[in-house]
């Protein structure tokens, strides 16, 4: 408990110090609870998520960093490895490939990488996975782009 708090505080200071270092990630700690964080990440360029800003919610366990944080998308996203309703993410480093050397910041980077490189063979969103698995890249991209526009971009007018 104390160890996780100390480590999260170190991460907090690091985030404050390097705010400008990674313009694609904006990590914010909850005002009253250091175990609750949110992040805003930019959709990677040359993907259907480009131009969108996606919100992630982190719930950090007390055993952190020995246990991985729980992360989910708050913003709706059409991606094979993200549950369309709950925002749950299927990513090995958040499960059995977790290492305590990961930080919240580097987890965000891993999620951005996952957005650019979906794994259609372990889908949480079967519709999205099936489009890619059947070779319909155009169908996948237009669906994903539509949801990016609907949910991850500021509404016009």
Partner 1 sequence: MSGKSMELQSTASMEMETRTSTSDYTNPCPICLGPINQSSYLDKCFHNFCYNCIVQWTKVVSGKRSCTLSSIKCPLCKTESSSIIHGLDGHNFQRHYVNPDFQDSFILSKAHRYRLQCYYTEPGFLNDIFDVQRYWKLQKYLQANQWLEVWLKRELQALIQEEDVDIIMHHFLGLINSFFRRNEPEYQTETPELKRKRFSQTILDAAKPFLSARADRFILELELFLASGLNIEAYDSVYLQRLGWNKPIVPSVANEEDLGLKSVTPYLYIFDCDPDDGD
Footprint on this chain of partner 1 (rule: CB under 8 A) = 3, 6-7, 10-11, 14, 63, 65-67, 99-101, 103
User: What minimum distance in Å lies between the beta carbon of 46 and partner 1?
Assistant: 29
Nearer to partner 1, 5 or 149 (CB): 5
Of 63, 69, 87, 64, the C-alpha closest to 27 is 69
User: What minimum distance in Å lies between the beta carbon of 44 and partner 1?
Assistant: 25
End-to-end CA distance of the chain: 47
- Residue pair 55/42 in contact (Cβ under 8 Å)? The answer is no
User: What minimum distance in Å lies between the beta carbon of 67 and partner 1?
Assistant: 8
DSSP 79-106: -TTB-TTT-BB--GGGTTT--TT--HHH
User: What minimum distance in Å lies between the beta carbon of 99 and partner 1?
Assistant: 4
Nearer to partner 1, 93 or 143 (CB): 93
DSSP class of 142:
H
Nearer to partner 1, 45 or 63 (CB): 63
Q: How many CB atoms lie within 10 A of CB 30?
A: 12
Q: Among residues 29, 90, 108, 126, which one is catalytic?
A: 90
Nearer to partner 1, 8 or 56 (CB): 8
- Residue pair 22/39 in contact (Cβ under 8 Å)? The answer is no
Known catalytic residue at 29: no
Q: What angle do CA 48, 21, 1 make, to 5 degrees?
A: 95
| Residues annotated catalytic, as ranges | 90
């Amino acid at each position: 408990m104390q160890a996780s708090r100390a480590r999260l505080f170190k991460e907090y200071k690091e985030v404050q110090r390097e705010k400008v270092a990674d313009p694609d990630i904006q990590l914010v700690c909850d005002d009253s609870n250091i175990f609750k964080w949110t992040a805003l990440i930019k959709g990677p360029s040359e993907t259907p998520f480009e131009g969108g800003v996606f919100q992630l919610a982190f719930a950090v366990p007390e055993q952190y960093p020995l246990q991985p944080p729980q992360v989910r998308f708050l913003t709706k996203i059409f991606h094979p490895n993200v549950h369309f309703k709950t925002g749950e993410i299927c990513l090995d480093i958040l499960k059995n490939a977790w290492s305590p050397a990961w930080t919240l910041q580097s987890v965000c980077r891993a999620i951005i990488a996952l957005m650019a490189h979906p794994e259609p063979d372990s889908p949480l969103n079967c519709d999205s996975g099936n489009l890619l698995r059947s070779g319909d890249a155009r169908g996948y991209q237009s669906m994903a782009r539509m949801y990016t526009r609907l949910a991850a971009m500021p509404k016009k007018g």
